[in-house]
Structure 1
Amino acid sequence: MNTTGPQPIPATGLPEVITRYLAAHRVRDAATAVSAFTADAVVTDEGATRQGTAAIGEWLETAASEYTYTTELTGAERADAHHYVALQHLEGDFPGGTVDLRYRFTLRDGLIAGLVIEV
């Protein structure tokens, strides 16, 4: 792993599986979004962890219906061949109205094995 930390890359440098997930999540297509994950994937968001595609699918459905918001990919970083960060700006009717989030991805076998979403 890169010991200097993630390095900025163009958004076009993100692996296809990440861009597919982000695009599906943006249009609230939970079925396509969940297809980007390994069967045993782990997602942590807002302090809660979900494991497995069934739990991740439920989280995606709930997140899509809880608030109305838009997302914009504002940057990308690569730590190594298996670890990427997508920087997302969200605006919507959630508390605070705007937030910049880091989506930290861990890849395995061409799919997302881990995702941590944090401020």
Structure 2
Amino acid sequence: MSLDLPSPLADYVEANARLDVDGMLKPFQHDAVVIDNGKRFEGRPAIRQLLEDEVIPVKAIFMPDSVRQEGGAVVVEGPAHGQFPGSPLRFIYRFRLTSGAIETLEITV
């Protein structure tokens, strides 16, 4: 299924499929915030650490299968596959964009 994702989100998803940390970081603003399962990561250095510690080692690849607009956010849902317990797990990614870049991303199960 091909989704019509805004450019920064499509870039993030494509880089994630390659497990490319630099590519995943590129669509984020320098002071972006990621909230992953209640933990807050502020700025690209903290987001890089999150990706290097929790995404790359388990080869977690997010495969979005739905997208919708909700309250000013772009909500993308789908499974993530990888080498982690319970794989695949279904995730909800709630993105807020500003000036063509990801300002915030909240990830929930």
What is the TM-score normalised by the length of structure 2? 0.88
* 1:98 matches 2:88: yes
Cα distance in 1, alignment partners of residues 73 and 64 from structure 2: 17
The residue number in structure 2 matching 1:26 is 17
What are the equivalent positions in structure 2 for 1:1-119 lying under 5 Å apart?
Answer: 11-12=3-4, 14-79=5-70, 82-119=72-109
**Cα distance change of structure 1 residues 66 and 47 upon mapping to structure 2, 3 Å threshold:** farther
- For these two proteins, the number of residue pairs brought into alignment is 108
CA RMSD of aligned residues (A): 1.7
TM-score normalized by the length of structure 1: 0.81
User: Could you list the per-position Cα deviations for residues 3-33 of structure 1 after superposition, in whole angstroms to 9, with x for gaps in the alignment?
Assistant: xxxxxxx711x21011001111221111111
- Counterpart-to-counterpart distance in 1, 2:54 and 2:92: 16
Cα distance, 1:34 vs structure 2? 0.7
**Greater radius of gyration (CA):** 1
State the Cα distance separating 1:37 from its structure 2 match.
0.6
Q: After superposition, what is the alpha-carbon deviation per residue over 1:57-85, rounded to whole angstroms, capped at 9, x for unaligned?
A: 111112233313443221111126x5101
The structure whose residues are more often strand, as a share, is 1
**Percent same amino acid at aligned positions?**
29
Alignment-mate amino acid for residue 73 of structure 1: P
Task: Report the Cα offset of residue 88 of structure 1.
Answer: 2.0
Segments of 5+ residues of structure 1 without an aligned counterpart are 1-9
Look up the equivalent residue of 1:11 and give its one-letter code. L
Structure 2 unaligned blocks of 5 or more: none
